Amino acid sequence: MTDIYSRLVNKGPGRDVAKKLGLPQPAVLRRYEPGQPLINGPVLIEGSSAGADELAAELLTWDVDVRRHAVPREKLGGIVLVLDSLASPVDLEKPVLTVASSLRDLAPNGRVVTVSLTPDGGSPAAAAARQGVDGLLRSLAKELRAGATGNGILLADGVGTTAPTALGALRFFLSGRSAYVDGQFVRVGSTSGKLPADDEKPLAGKVAVVTGAARGIGAAIARTLHRDGATVVAVDIPAAGDHLAAVANDIRGTALQLDISRDDAGPRIIEHAVGRHGRLDILVHNAGITRDKLLVNMDHGRWSSVIGVNIAAQLRINEALLASEHFRSAPRIVSLASTSGIAGNRGQTNYAASKGGVIGMVRATAPLLAEHGGSINAVAPGFIETEMTARMPFATREIARRLNSLQQGGRPQDVAEAIAFLASDSAGGISGEVLRVCGQQLVGA
């Protein structure tokens, strides 16, 4: 977890030297902590559509300092670019160039969020404009500095700028919860979902199961869901039981020692959650293993264990959940994918196949959960500082760490925040999607 370089270039002489030499200067990211304001500084809402006006009105009720026009030299916390009425690529120029000069006034850890329509509809010209937003936002995100990020919200047909999940996603992107999410879009496919009564406890009253919760990202997920108000069942293999017990005791949850690749894992998870806590609302499939080898040297054991744990077990558990009457009240599943499963990674054919599998599973399972008002999504972490990445060779690790727009590795907490968001009702309109938490990794899409 120690990124010594980041610490060196963030203070004193180290900062000056790095600046002079043009070395990467990873910023200290503003991460969410309870009690923190949504965003530091005013939010400029650019756009002249009705959707932009409605959004601005909504933001005023959030206790956010809203600007409809930039005030010269005023530091901005964020810029929301509402592009929900583009008829042609030509329409992009006016709003984009209007906010261009305001980018200089974006505060450290500032936020740029685009709100536009999904590019799968409309005339060729409208579709071109909508898809244009994709290229625009991803490029803009790469130009931002000092911990600022750029992300986009895509609205499907019939979903307005103030639909519950459109607002939920906007809150997520503006807040410190999305610190390591950069250059990404989320697609709001429906008007389902609702904003929490208490923004500090969005998961109050929910019972969540987290697999692989004994350490690393899984432990961070368990802690974050607990912080957000959920009662957590921490699951891990029996051999990790001591670490698991420590996590469970820390967050006032229960520990369930269970190998998720067992045939009866699904029923046992349901039995524990419902028996002990009366319900089951959220399942986070975090447990996963790596058995890296070039394909030319791959064997049955390495291949089958990775597929078995990382995807086959998830499919089996989902089947049990979908068949259970206890998983019918706006149920949420969030599964861990990986950027390896999207862009590929040398030596990880088995792992990437399993993680690609997760993305396919999520897409195909979404309609099955929709009838219960539920959702299923995946989170694909990039380079995250864990015990696992700490064991990488120094040079490989250092390169992997810097090759993203934020020039640093993420923390388990960053992945956990994205999962907590997707597990909440405020993301209820997002389903079948993959959200990358990678600081806008430069290699492989």
Residues near other proteins (CB under 8 A):
234, 238-242, 244-246, 248-249, 252-259, 262, 275-278
Distance between CA atoms of 278 and 195, rounded to whole angstroms? 24
* 252 versus 391: smaller Cβ distance to other proteins: 252
Min dist CB 276 to other proteins, Å, is 5
Closest approach of other proteins to the CB of residue 251, in Å: 9
215 or 411: CB nearest other proteins: 215
Task: Record the tokens describing residue 214, joined without a space.
Answer: 């004994």
Residue appearing with tokens 């993420």:
410
Strand order in the sheet with 76-83: 66-67, 43-46, 76-83, 106-117, 149-155, 185-188
Closest distance between other proteins and the C-beta of residue 260, in Å? 12
Residue 5 among the catalytic residues: no
Least separation in angstroms between CB 416 and other proteins: 20
Q: In what order do the strands lie in the sheet with 207-211?
A: 254-257, 231-236, 207-211, 282-285, 332-336, 375-381, 434-437
Angle at CA of residue 142, ends 172 and 387, nearest 5°: 65
Q: Which of 5, 32, 180, 351 is catalytic?
A: 351
Q: From the CB of residue 209, how many other CB atoms can be counted at a distance below 10 Å?
A: 30
Which is nearer to other proteins, 117 or 244 (by Cβ)?
244
**Smallest gap from residue 386 Cβ to other proteins (A):** 20
**Toward other proteins, which CB reaches closer, 277 or 411?**
277
Q: How far is C-alpha 411 from the chain's CA centre? A: 12
Q: Which is nearer to other proteins, 242 or 325 (CB)?
A: 242
Comparing CA positions, the residue from 196, 198, 436 lying closest to residue 330 is 196
Torsion, Cα of 245, 248, 254, 256 (10° steps)? -50
Shortest Å distance, C-beta 250 to other proteins = 8
Nearer to other proteins, 275 or 301 (CB): 275
Judged by CB, which is closer to other proteins: 34, or 275? 275
Smallest distance, Å, CB 245 to other proteins?
4
Which residues participate in catalysis according to the annotation?
351
